[in-house]
Amino acid sequence: MKTHLISAEDVPYIWDDVGPMLHRIREHSEGELETDDFLDHLMNGGMQLWISTEDKEIVMSAVTQIISYPQKRVLRVIALAGENFREVHDNCINMVEAFAIKHQCSALELWGRKGWKKMLPDWNSNYIVFTKDLKERMH
C-alpha cells in the first residue's frame, strides 16, 4: 500500500475516482460540505487530498485542511473514506504528521464519530462536538 499527497494541479485528473468515495461520508456529517465543495478548495490549495493505493486501486481518500487558531495551527482531517482504515492509518500517519510539522502545525485534529477512538488509541479525545439542528426555526 502506498499513500500519496495529490498536488492541487492533479486533483481534477483523479476526481472522478475520489469524488464518489468521499460522497459516502455525507451520511455521517451535519451537512457542512457537499462532495463537490471540496473540489475548489483542493484545486486552489486551501485543502489537501490524500489517497492510498493498493495494486493501483484507490482504497482510501482523505481531505485535510490547515486551521490557524489564534494560538496554534493544526492539520484537521475533514473527510476520510475508503476501506482498510487501520492498515491505511499505520501506513500513512508518519507522512501526514511530517506534512503537518513542515507546515508549522503543532497538532492533528479529527472530528469524527465515537467509533474512531478505537482506531486512534494514541489520540486524545478531549471533547465531543454536539449539534442541534435549528433549520426548522429559521423560517
| pLDDT, averaged in runs of 10, over the chain (139 residues) | 94 94 78 83 95 91 94 90 81 89 92 74 72 72
The pLDDT value recorded for residue 18 is 94
Residues present in the chain in total: 139
The pLDDT value recorded for residue 79 is 86
- Grid coordinates of 76: 484537521
Q: State the Cα–Cα distance between residues 87 and 115, nearest whole angstrom.
A: 16
The pLDDT value recorded for residue 71 is 92
Q: What are phi and psi of 9, to 5 degrees?
A: -70, -30
The pLDDT value recorded for residue 16 is 94
Which one-letter DSSP state was computed for residue 135?
A: G
Q: State the Cα–Cα distance between residues 49 and 38, nearest whole angstrom.
A: 9
